C-alpha cells in the first residue's frame, strides 16, 4: 500500500515536472520584441553586417521596407526586432491596405515575414489580435513611432536592459526617439511639382524642343537624371530640354526624372517623378470626348488611351478629356493630399490636353471641384463641391483658355461629384440625389431655353439603375447579377426622380443628352450601354428597395473602367464624337481596339448661337460656395515653345472623314 502510494506520488511529480517544462518551453518560444545593436551608422546611413546600406527617412510609404531604431542610455542605436525560438527578424514592411471600399476603416500594418506588430493594452504584440474596431494606423512623426487604433493613440516606449524592452505608452513624454531607415529605388519624397507638358504640339509645325521642369522641396540635390521614352538624356538640372523629341511624327512620348537628394538632418530622398506625356498630333477631332472612370492610381493608362485614339484616328486627338472619378484607392482621400500628390500625376499623364474632373466615392469632392475650376473651361471659379457645369464649349473661357477644347464648341458638360450624394442623418450615412437634383434641373432648364443642338453630357461617378434588376446588369460572363447587388452606395436614392427630369428635357426639347458614369466595377458589373427606347429601372429608395421604370429618351452608359486591378475593370474607356448626323460612341481598350461601337442619331442639328446667350447665363447660375479658389490648384507646367494659337491651326475635319472610312472598313 505504501509502495503503491509512493509510485503514484512519484508519477504525479514527474507529470507535473513534464507539464512545467512543456509550459516553460512553450513560453520561451512565444514571439516577443527585442533590441539588436546596430552594426554601423554614420550621418544617416545605417550599414548592415552584409554591407547593405539603409538610409534615414521621415515617414512610411506603402509597400516599402524599414528598419526602426531607438537609442539606449549610451546613445547607441538599437534595432526593433521580433523573435521566437531560433528566428529573429528586424526588417519591417509597411502596408497600407488600399484595396477596400471608400468607407472601410483605414488599415495599415508593420510586418516582417513572420511577425506583425500590434497593440494589446500596453503590450507590443508580434501578432495581430484583431481587437481594433476602427482605423488601424501606424505612422512616424519625426521622433516617435505612433499607433492610432480605433482613435486611441499609443507610442513606442523603450526600457533598456529589460527582458522585454519594448512596450506601448499613451504618454507622449515617455515615447522613445525612433529613427527609421529605408532601402530601395524610392526613399523619402521631395518632388513638390511634377513635370508636365503645357500642351500638345502639331506634327511638322517646326516646334522647338519641349522644356520640362520639376519642383523640389528644400533639399540638397545629389543627382537629377532625365529620361525620354525610357532612354537617359544629358542634363542634371531641375529644367530639361528634350531635344530628342523634336521633329517626330504624331504619337505620345514619355518624359520623367529620377531625383536623389539629402537635407541638413541627414534625411535621404530618392524619388521618380510622374511620367509626363508629350503629345505630337496631326490635329483635333472636333466635338469629341475621351472619357473614363475608375483609374485607381493607374495613371499611365491615360496616355496609353490617348495613344489608342491617335492610332484609331491616324494621329488626331480628342477635343476634351473627362475624368469621372475614383482617381485614388482606399478610404475617401483628404482634399490636400489629393490635390498635392495625386492630381499632379494625372495632369502629367494628360500631356497638356484639356480635361475636367468629376469626383468619385474614393475622392475628395472639393478637390475635384477645385481641379475642374482650375481648368477654366466654363466652370465657376469657386465650383461647389457637389459639382455643376464644368465645361461650356461656347463660353469665352474656352475661347480664351482652351487648347484642343476650342474644337468642342457644341459640347456642354455637367459634373456630378459623388460627395454631393452623401447624406448624414442621426449618425448614419445614406446616399441620395436629393441635394443635387434641383441644380441639375436648373442647368437643363437654362440650357433648354437657348438650346442650339449642343451635346449635353452629364458626367457622374454613380449611375441611376438598380444593379441586378436592370436586365443589362451582368458580369463579364454575361450572367445576371443578383437583385439590388451592392448597398445604397451603388443604388442611390432618388435615381428615378433624377432620371425622370433628364428624360423630360430630352423628350420635350429634343435635347441630345448622354449620362455617363462608372463606379460599379467593384460589384463586377460590365460596362453598360442603353439609349432611346430602352427601359431603365431606377432606385427610388434603397431602404425599402423601391424602384420604378421609365422609357429612356437619353443615352445612358458607362464611361469605361480604365483600371484593371479591381473587380471587372479591364482598361476600357469611351471615345464619343459627332459624325455628321449621328453621334458615334466607341468603348475602347487602352491597348487598342474597339470593344463596342454604337451610333446615336442626332435629335437636333447644332447651330452656333450668337454671342452672349445661354452660356453666359449658365456660368452665372453656379453658386460660389467652395472655400478655395480654382487659381490655387493650377498646375505649373513648362512651355512647349511655339504659340498654341498658331499650332492649333490644323484641319480637324479630316479626322472625322478618316474615322468614317476606318469604321466602314472595320464593318
Host H or E run for residue 501? helix 495-508
Kindly tell me if the per-residue pLDDT of 636 is higher than 50. no
Q: Please check whether residues 241 and 359 belong to one and the same domain.
A: no
94 and 195 belong to one structural domain: no
Same domain, 133 and 231: no
- Are 271 and 360 within one domain? no
How many CA atoms are closer than 13 Å to the CA of 159, on its beta-carbon side? 10
The last residue of a domain, from among 167, 182, 197:
182
Domain-embedded: residue 379: yes
CA within 13 Å, CB half, 439 = 23
Would you say 518 and 572 are in contact if contact means Cβ atoms under 8 Å apart? no
| Shared domain check, 193 and 161 | no
Do residues 604 and 338 make contact, with C-beta atoms less than 8 angstroms apart? Answer: no
Whether residue 418 is found in the same domain as residue 522: yes
Q: Taking residues 316-335, what's their average pLDDT? A: 94
pLDDT above 60 for 505: yes
**Tens digits of per-residue pLDDT, 126-176?**
876 666 778 889 999 989 999 998 889 999 999 988 888 999 999 999 999
Q: Is 380 exposed, middle or buried (0-12, 13-18, 19+ CB in 10 A)?
A: buried
Per-residue pLDDT, 161: 82
Instruction: Tell me the pairing of strands 283-284 and 316-317.
Output: parallel
CATH number at residue 275: 2.60.40.10
For 216, other C-beta atoms within 10 Å of its C-beta total 17
Residues 592 and 627 in one domain: yes
Q: Looking at per-residue confidence, does 653 or 478 come out higher?
A: 478
Q: Residue written as cell 451582368?
A: 474
The whole-number average pLDDT for the span 509-517 is 97
In this model, does residue 1 exceed pLDDT 60? no
pLDDT digits over 348-365, tens only? 999 999 999 999 999 999
Distance from C-alpha of 342 to C-alpha of 197, rounded to nearest angstrom: 17
**pLDDT at residue number 518:** 96
Q: For position 324, what pLDDT does the model report?
A: 95
Work out the pLDDT band at 658, boundaries 50, 70, 90. Answer: low
The answer on 462 and 404 residing in a single domain is yes
Mean pLDDT of 250-263: 97
Question: Does residue 80 lie within any of the structural domains?
Answer: yes
DSSP per-residue letters across 551-592: E-SSEEEE--B---SSTT--SEEEEEEEETTEEEEEEEETTS
Please determine, for residue 499, whether its predicted confidence score (pLDDT) is greater than 80.
yes
Q: Residues 101, 159: one domain?
A: yes
Q: What's the confidence (pLDDT) of residue 315?
A: 97
CA distance 354 to 504: 31
Predicted confidence (pLDDT) per residue in 395-453, tens digit: 999 999 999 999 999 999 999 999 999 998 888 899 999 999 999 999 999 999 999 99
Give the start-end residues of each E strand in 203-330: 211-213, 215-216, 220-228, 231-233, 239-241, 251-262, 268-272, 276-281, 283-284, 288-292, 316-317, 320-323
Q: Kindly report the CATH number assigned to the domain that includes residue 591.
A: 3.60.21.10
Do 331 and 207 have their domain in common?
no
Q: Are residues 408 and 271 in the same domain?
A: no
C-alpha span between 424 and 431 (Å, rounded): 9
Number of domains within the chain: 3
Mean pLDDT over 18-44 rounds to: 66
Q: Is residue 104 part of a domain?
A: yes
pTM: 0.87
Residue 5 has pLDDT above 60, yes or no: no
Give the model's confidence band at 125: pLDDT under 50 very low, under 70 low, under 90 confident, else very high: confident
pLDDT, residue 649, reads: 41
**Would you state the pLDDT for residue 98?**
82
- The answer on 598 and 500 residing in a single domain is yes
Q: What is the CATH number of the domain that holds 122?
A: 2.80.10
Q: Mean pLDDT for the chain?
A: 87
588-606 tens-digit pLDDT: 999 989 999 999 999 988 9
Q: How confident is the model at residue 8 (pLDDT cuts 50, 70, 90)?
A: very low
Would you state the pLDDT for residue 648?
A: 42
> Residue 30 — pLDDT band, cuts 50, 70, 90?
low
pLDDT of residue 185: 92
How far is it, in rounded angstroms, from Cα 633 to Cα 339?
7
Q: Is the pLDDT of residue 631 over 90?
A: no
**Calpha distance 559→575 (Å, rounded):** 9
pLDDT digits (tens, 9 = 90+) for 181-213: 999 999 999 999 999 999 999 999 999 999 999
Q: 110 in helix, strand or coil? A: strand
Q: Is 87 among the domain residues? A: yes
Task: Quote the domain boundaries for residue 177.
Answer: 30-182
Residue 148 lies in a domain: yes
Determine, yes or no, domain membership for 304: yes
Q: Which of 264, 281, 298 is where one domain is finished?
A: 281
The answer to whether residue 423 is domain-embedded is yes
Least confident of 25-29, 113-117, 521-525: 25-29
Query: b vs e for 595-605, b when ≥16 Cβ sit within 10 Å of the residue's Cβ?
Result: beeeebebbee
Report percent pLDDT > 70 for the chain.
Answer: 86
Domain boundary among 234, 266, 281: 281
Q: Higher model confidence: residue 311 or residue 31?
A: 311
The bridge status of strand 288-292 relative to strand 283-284 is unpaired
Looking at the domain assignment, is residue 255 inside a domain? Answer: yes
Amino acid at each position: 500500500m505504501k509502495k503503491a502510494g509512493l509510485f503514484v506520488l512519484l508519477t504525479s511529480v514527474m507529470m507535473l515536472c513534464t507539464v512545467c517544462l512543456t509550459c516553460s518551453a512553450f513560453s520561451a518560444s512565444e514571439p516577443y520584441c527585442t533590441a539588436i545593436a546596430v552594426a554601423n551608422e554614420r550621418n544617416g546611413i545605417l550599414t548592415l553586417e552584409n554591407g547593405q546600406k539603409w538610409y534615414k527617412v521621415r515617414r512610411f510609404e506603402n509597400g516599402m521596407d524599414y528598419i526602426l531604431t531607438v537609442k539606449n542610455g549610451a546613445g547607441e542605436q538599437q534595432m526593433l526586432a521580433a523573435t521566437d525560438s531560433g528566428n529573429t527578424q528586424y526588417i519591417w514592411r509597411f502596408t497600407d491596405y488600399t484595396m477596400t471600399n471608400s468607407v472601410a476603416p483605414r488599415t495599415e500594418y508593420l510586418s516582417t515575414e513572420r511577425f506583425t506588430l500590434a497593440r494589446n493594452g500596453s503590450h507590443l504584440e508580434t501578432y495581430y489580435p484583431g481587437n481594433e474596431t476602427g482605423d488601424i494606423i501606424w505612422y512616424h512623426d519625426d521622433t516617435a513611432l505612433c499607433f492610432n487604433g480605433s482613435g486611441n493613440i499609443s507610442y513606442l516606449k523603450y526600457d533598456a536592459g529589460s527582458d522585454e524592452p519594448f512596450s506601448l505608452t499613451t504618454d507622449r513624454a515617455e515615447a522613445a526617439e525612433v529613427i527609421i531607415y529605408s532601402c530601395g529605388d524610392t526613399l523619402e519624397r521631395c518632388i513638390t511639382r511634377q513635370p508636365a507638358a503645357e500642351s500638345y504640339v502639331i506634327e511638322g509645325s517646326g516646334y522647338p524642343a519641349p522644356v520640362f521642369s520639376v519642383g523640389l522641396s528644400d533639399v540638397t540635390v545629389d543627382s537629377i537624371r532625365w529620361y525620354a521614352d525610357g532612354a537617359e538624356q544629358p542634363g542634371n538640372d531641375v529644367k530639361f530640354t528634350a531635344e530628342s523629341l523634336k521633329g517626330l511624327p504624331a504619337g505620345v512620348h514619355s518624359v520623367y526624372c529620377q531625383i536623389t537628394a539629402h537635407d541638413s538632418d541627414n534625411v535621404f530622398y530618392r524619388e521618380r517623378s510622374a511620367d509626363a506625356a508629350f503629345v505630337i498630333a496631326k490635329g483635333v477631332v472636333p466635338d469629341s470626348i475621351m472619357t473614363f472612370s475608375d483609374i485607381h492610381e493607374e495613371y499611365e493608362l491615360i496616355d496609353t488611351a490617348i495613344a489608342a485614339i491617335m492610332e484609331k484616328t491616324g494621329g488626331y486627338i480628342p477635343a476634351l478629356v473627362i475624368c469621372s472619378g475614383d482617381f485614388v484607392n482606399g478610404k475617401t482621400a483628404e482634399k490636400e493630399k489629393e490635390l498635392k500628390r495625386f492630381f499632379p500625376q494625372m495632369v502629367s499623364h494628360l500631356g497638356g490636353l484639356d480635361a475636367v474632373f468629376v469626383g468619385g466615392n474614393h475622392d475628395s469632392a472639393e478637390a475635384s471641384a477645385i481641379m475642374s475650376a482650375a481648368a477654366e473651361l466654363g466652370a465657376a471659379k469657386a465650383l461647389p463641391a457637389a459639382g455643376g457645369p464644368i465645361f461650356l464649349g461656347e463660353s469665352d473661357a474656352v475661347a480664351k483658355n482652351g487648347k484642343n477644347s476650342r474644337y468642342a464648341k457644341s459640347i456642354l458638360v455637367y459634373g456630378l461629384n459623388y460627395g454631393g450624394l452623401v447624406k448624414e442623418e442621426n449618425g448614419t450615412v445614406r446616399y441620395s440625389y436629393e441635394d443635387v437634383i434641383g441644380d441639375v434641373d436648373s442647368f437643363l432648364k437654362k440650357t433648354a431655353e437657348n438650346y442650339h443642338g449642343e451635346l449635353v453630357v452629364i458626367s457622374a461617378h454613380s449611375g441611376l439603375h438598380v444593379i441586378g434588376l436592370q436586365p443589362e446588369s451582368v458580369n463579364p460572363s454575361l450572367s445576371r447579377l443578383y437583385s439590388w447587388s451592392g448597398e445604397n452606395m451603388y443604388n442611390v436614392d432618388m435615381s428615378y426622380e433624377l432620371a425622370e427630369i433628364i428624360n423630360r428635357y430630352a423628350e420635350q426639347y429634343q435635347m441630345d443628352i448622354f449620362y455617363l458614369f462608372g463606379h460599379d466595377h467593384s460589384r463586377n458589373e460590365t460596362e453598360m450601354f442603353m439609349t432611346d427606347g430602352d427601359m431603365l429601372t431606377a432606385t427610388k429608395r434603397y431602404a425599402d428597395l423601391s424602384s420604378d421604370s421609365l422609357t429612356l429618351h437619353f443615352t445612358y452608359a458607362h464611361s469605361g473602367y480604365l483600371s484593371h486591378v479591381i473587380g471587372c475593370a479591364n482598361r476600357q474607356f469611351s471615345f464619343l464624337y459627332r459624325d455628321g448626323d449621328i453621334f458615334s460612341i466607341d468603348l475602347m481598350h487602352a491597348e487598342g481596339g474597339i470593344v463596342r461601337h454604337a451610333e446615336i442619331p442626332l435629335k437636333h442639328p447644332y447651330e452656333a448661337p450668337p454671342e452672349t446667350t445661354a452660356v453666359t447665363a449658365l456660368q452665372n447660375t453656379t453658386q460660389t460656395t467652395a472655400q478655395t479658389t480654382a487659381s490655387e490648384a493650377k498646375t505649373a507646367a513648362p512651355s512647349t515653345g511655339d504659340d498654341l494659337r498658331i499650332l492649333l491651326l490644323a484641319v480637324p475635319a479630316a479626322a472625322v472623314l478618316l474615322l468614317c472610312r476606318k469604321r466602314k472598313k472595320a464593318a
